[in-house]
Structure 1
């Protein structure tokens, strides 16, 4: 449905246009969801491929006109249609639950929910002159979402589950989950999560991010994996269950993942190795002095490096191998060696009367991923060149 057209198609600019993507689940087939965009008020336009993640696949487009004729439409081509539509095929989750790490469009037949990621699923529209056209996503529930810019994290869409509205640090946050125990234990975990998020936001006082929604999805412990993902306005968090139940360790992991993904929304300016390692370190640190305190980052690293064959690789070399060469086998270093590095820096800063908390918001990085000289100099001023060199040689 067209939201607004302020002048004729000959005079309209992309800033005057906004499109609405209507999400329509198939009433008889839960694996199928249609996306319908009314383009009648546009003159010629183009459809750009959706942002991609693991594969370059794109949904086939259908051009429809008032006379009822439907034809296939091509991407990156001038089009004139009254309506553009496409169908998304969702993958049914297996017995282990939703694997968030894959970020695949998915559904649960048993619990009646579906998930759509912007990746590979939501193409974008431009004018004939290739000026972007703003877009809203209209869910069947009536909820509207804004399609983020291509420099922002992806949009995540959730349907079939009724969210719970909570006040978290003065902001209305929508919590969605497919696990009833999470709902029943809100009074236990909500104060901890509030404390975590309040602390993380305080680290970056200039950041405008203050609220985002959270969706918790069951993941059976037998799968031996739990993950999360940060979208433009929603984070996804796996909740580990055994026989459908959460235990104390599961709640600790859930809160850590929630903090980790929240850090990705709060701080979006760091290179990959620093983004992941800072998110993990502060997710762990945010649980200090709570009933869900997490393992020490250095202890984890000391155990991990005994069995991880790539442990001797420095974080900057691992960053290059992952980001430039796609060698994902080095990625675990960001989650284990990285937090140990930041813990070492934080410890010596604290001993010198400062802390990582006081410096982290001002860190900048070079294109290679290295901490910028000005950031290194700030650390060295406090802990000394010799201590910095020793730590950086051990980790970076």
Structure 2
């Protein structure tokens, strides 16, 4: 088919405009006067037909429910997902939980509000998508405050979820191409200036080891929230270029050990965000866990080593004798998550032992990390090139012993 010259010129002129069209913005406005409820607003240039698609959810229940919102100021109820309607402006309410009025475990991935002056939103159940619109930004703002509006792209459904945090940050650390912004809820001011310095040293070390400067993310957000140690819920939640973590406190105070563990977990997630290599699951988790620990040494923080943790853990763990290759298959193919802790415990201990032996030989895991690869993208085994590299640097007998102790 041949286009007339005029039509062809028009097409060429219009196409770049469409390609550069700004993303659709969903603006979440919070208000200090009523911090537990925010208003989400979507404005279209002109009234248009809209089809809402279901938000991503953590729930296993796939039942389609209605979505309650205002359409051009009029309450619309019982509009099912994928039902078409016409609207110029959509609004709905997003709720937040006060982190200081109840012991909120970050792992639950709820929307959070801190009296320190920040809000944190996860996309689960709150951010619908729109049929035919792929470029969407989620923006956070605080009513009546001078904080700049903060916008992040809505990730694709197969990417880590959106975690957007905005409002009064504690500190922004600029390292290379990456701006790391920390938000924390620490009512008794347990965290001191030296903790921020340690975090910056960890980030700089991981960037150096991973050689990720060229492809480094432009921003990373960290959220630290205190929680009573007795609750035993000091886990975290990771999203796209964002990570939330609890740190344990006793009578409002964090111990040196709990602070070190917070830094360990935070660096574990930073490793994931900075690493460019597409590792299989066990390699990705075990390296992140080991380098989370190793970054503590660079920042002058101390806690038990991965090897020490493994020696204690294996005495009470039913799958302790299982090799990391088999554990990987059990998790990825059999969907048996009970083997997952091996990646953190046995896997990190494996890399610590490898690193120790490499240092005795005059090098380190830092030096060979770029050449650590799996046999194939869907293969849990280390590549023959990686094994031969270790055998050349160490010895065939030592590497075979490590394989039998940890991998097979």
Work out whether 1:342 is the aligned partner of 2:348: no
C-alpha deviation, 1:62, in angstroms: 4.3
Gaps of 5+ in 2: 1-13
Match of 1:163 in 2: 169
C-alpha deviation, 1:360, in angstroms: 1.9
Choose from 206, 212, 218 the match for 2:220. Answer: 212
Cα distance change of structure 1 residues 200 and 36 upon mapping to structure 2, 3 Å threshold: same
Match of 1:378 in 2: 389
Alignment of 1:29-68 (within 5 A): 31-41=36-46, 43-56=48-61, 60-62=66-68, 64-66=70-72, 68=74
Work out whether 1:390 is the aligned partner of 2:396: no
Aligned mates of 1:65, 1:289 — CA distance in 2: 54
Work out whether 1:235 is the aligned partner of 2:243: yes
CA contact (8 A) 2:206 2:271 kept: yes
Cα distance change of structure 1 residues 73 and 84 upon mapping to structure 2, 3 Å threshold: farther
Cα distance change of structure 1 residues 158 and 289 upon mapping to structure 2, 3 Å threshold: closer
CA contact (8 A) 1:104 1:117 kept: yes
Q: TM-score with structure 2 length normalisation?
A: 0.80
Work out whether 1:244 is the aligned partner of 2:252: yes
State the Cα deviation string for residues 101-154 of structure 1 (Å, max 9, x = none).
Answer: 22123446x767543212333222342xxx513324233254222224325432
Aligned mates of 1:95, 1:276 — CA distance in 2: 33
C-alpha deviation, 1:336, in angstroms: 0.9
Aligned mates of 1:11, 1:290 — CA distance in 2: 48
Aligned mates of 1:183, 1:166 — CA distance in 2: 19
Gaps of 5+ in 1: 1-8
Give the secondary-structure state (helix, strand or coil) at the position aligned to 1:145. Answer: strand
Match of 2:184 in 1: 177
State the Cα deviation string for residues 239-289 of structure 1 (Å, max 9, x = none).
Answer: 211111122222212221221121121126323222221111011111126
Cα distance change of structure 1 residues 63 and 169 upon mapping to structure 2, 3 Å threshold: closer
Give the secondary-structure state (helix, strand or coil) at the position aligned to 1:16. Answer: coil
Match of 1:224 in 2: 232
Q: TM-score with structure 1 length normalisation?
A: 0.83
Work out whether 1:202 is the aligned partner of 2:211: no
CA contact (8 A) 1:22 1:36 kept: yes
Cα distance change of structure 1 residues 254 and 67 upon mapping to structure 2, 3 Å threshold: closer
Q: Which moved more, 1:324-333 or 1:276-285?
A: 324-333
CA contact (8 A) 1:64 1:82 kept: no
Q: Which has the higher strand share?
A: 2
State the Cα deviation string for residues 177-225 of structure 1 (Å, max 9, x = none).
Answer: 1104557611x22232222111111112144236423221001111123
Q: State the number of aligned residues.
A: 384
Match of 2:199 in 1: 193
CA contact (8 A) 1:165 1:172 kept: no
Aligned mates of 1:196, 1:67 — CA distance in 2: 49
Match of 1:154 in 2: 161
CA contact (8 A) 1:270 1:364 kept: yes
Q: For the aligned residues, what is the CA RMSD? A: 3.4
C-alpha deviation, 1:34, in angstroms: 3.6
Cα distance change of structure 1 residues 291 and 205 upon mapping to structure 2, 3 Å threshold: closer
Cα distance change of structure 1 residues 217 and 356 upon mapping to structure 2, 3 Å threshold: same
CA contact (8 A) 1:59 1:120 kept: no
C-alpha deviation, 1:45, in angstroms: 4.5
Q: Which moved more, 1:9-18 or 1:241-250?
A: 9-18
Alignment of 1:92-111 (within 5 A): 97-107=103-113
Aligned mates of 1:15, 1:61 — CA distance in 2: 31
Match of 1:133 in 2: 135
Work out whether 1:284 is the aligned partner of 2:293: yes
Match of 1:118 in 2: 123
CA contact (8 A) 1:15 1:133 kept: no
Give the secondary-structure state (helix, strand or coil) at the position aligned to 2:296. Answer: coil
